[in-house]
Structure 1
Amino acid sequence: MKLVVLRGNSGAGKTTTAQALLTRLGPTTLLLSQDTIRRVILKAPDRVGTPAITLIQALITWGQDQSFETIILEGILKKSVYGPMLATLKQQWGAQMLTVYFELPFEVALKRNQMKPNSFDQATLMSWWQANDLLGYEDLRFGPTVTLDEQVQLITEKLSVL
């Protein structure tokens, strides 16, 4: 059983990569989206103490109980809010947790966001922006030149040796 955490700013490609991984890995994979959990299910603010933290942890535990081979957690997951939870997960999962950070310049993220059907305006994106929001134990870091296929291939290769 493996846990993949995909983090980075809005428009960085986390959701697209997570969906491509889900397709590649198949039905033994559980995909958890921070946006869906926090904004859609809970309608909760993204701040310290958000109930999304405990629900994410509960859903990961549920995924373990259901024997999913891989659990993917994707979202901005900013360090100031989710850092302690992610550190706890790292402690629990150890080498079975793969942490990926998407590093893009704001201008690239803005352009990508504007291609979405429900895009956010520049001021909103800037208010969410977390520059270099690294945890210190990232296994992979993707910049703007790494293609989706390359991302999925690199993550899949890392997962095969965990």
Structure 2
Amino acid sequence: MGTEETRLVVLRGNSASGKSSIAAGVREKFGRNLAVVGQDNLRRTVLRERDRPGAANIGLIGSVARYALDHGFHVVVEGILYADRYGDMLQDLVREHRGVTRCYYLDIPFEETLARHATKPDPQYLAQVTEQHLRDWFRERDLLPGGMESVIDAASTLDETVQRILRDTGLDQVSPVDR
């Protein structure tokens, strides 16, 4: 799947760990021809589905990432993506991708998660997603098996993390394609 020139980034972590901001930052720095495949968008918006084992969004995330890679897009797959539910799909993507692939896990302590959550700009979302929700969803170091992820801790700033991903994947050396 994809080509030797395409890049695949998997970006995982707990709610409010910075995944969506990092994905947006990578896209902003890189430019066009980079697809962001967001778990929240596909699961909550497109399917309006709960996050459960075997749910339809798991396959949809994999299909959208494959489609984009097969059409020459670089791809960032981002979401909580619990290892026990999404791990097989993510491992298949990593194994089958012919280009450069890098996986990252944002290891952010719960207290920092609360602080980051409080900075979200959507007051309706903040009212709906409470501290108890965040506690219920939080999983300590929910890493994929086999050491396939680089762990990024809370000390890494948004810009540092974006720059690291661009460097690690070689996207900082690739020109975007204006589609």
Q: TM-score, normalised by structure 1?
A: 0.93
Query: Shift of residue 55 of structure 1?
Result: 0.8
Deviations 1:54-75 (A, max 9, x none): 111111122023211x101100
Which residues in structure 2 correspond to 1:38-57 (within 5 Å)?
38-57=43-62
Query: Shift of residue 139 of structure 1?
Result: 4.3
RMSD, aligned α-carbons: 1.7
Q: Does 1:58 align with 2:71?
A: no
On the 8 A contact 2:15/2:134 being kept in 1, the answer is yes
Aligned residues: 161
Counterpart among 151, 158, 162 of residue 161 in structure 2: 151
Read off the aligned partner of 2:140 and give its amino acid letter: A
Deviations 1:95-138 (A, max 9, x none): 62110100011010011101112222111011111111011334
Read off the aligned partner of 2:166 and give its amino acid letter: T
Structure 2 residue matching 1:3: 3-state secondary structure: strand
Corresponding position of 1:71: 75
Counterpart among 1, 7, 28 of residue 2 in structure 1: 7
Q: Does 1:105 align with 2:114?
A: no
Q: TM-score, normalised by structure 2?
A: 0.85
Counterpart Cα distance in 1 of 2:30 and 2:148: 21
Counterpart among 12, 16, 24 of residue 17 in structure 2: 12
Counterpart Cα distance in 2 of 1:6 and 1:138: 12
Counterpart Cα distance in 1 of 2:170 and 2:157: 20
Counterpart Cα distance in 2 of 1:139 and 1:157: 16
Counterpart Cα distance in 2 of 1:132 and 1:139: 11
Percent sequence identity over aligned pairs? 34
On the 8 A contact 1:32/1:72 being kept in 2, the answer is yes
Counterpart Cα distance in 1 of 2:68 and 2:140: 31
On the 8 A contact 2:8/2:97 being kept in 1, the answer is yes
Instruction: Please identify the structure whose Cα radius of gyration is greater.
Output: 2
Query: Shift of residue 94 of structure 1?
Result: 6.3
Counterpart Cα distance in 1 of 2:15 and 2:98: 27
Deviations 1:24-82 (A, max 9, x none): 111110111000000110011111111001111111122023211x1011000000110
Counterpart among 135, 147, 158 of residue 137 in structure 1: 147
Counterpart Cα distance in 2 of 1:121 and 1:81: 23
Structure 2 residue matching 1:16: 3-state secondary structure: helix
Read off the aligned partner of 1:149 and give its amino acid letter: D
On the 8 A contact 2:11/2:104 being kept in 1, the answer is yes
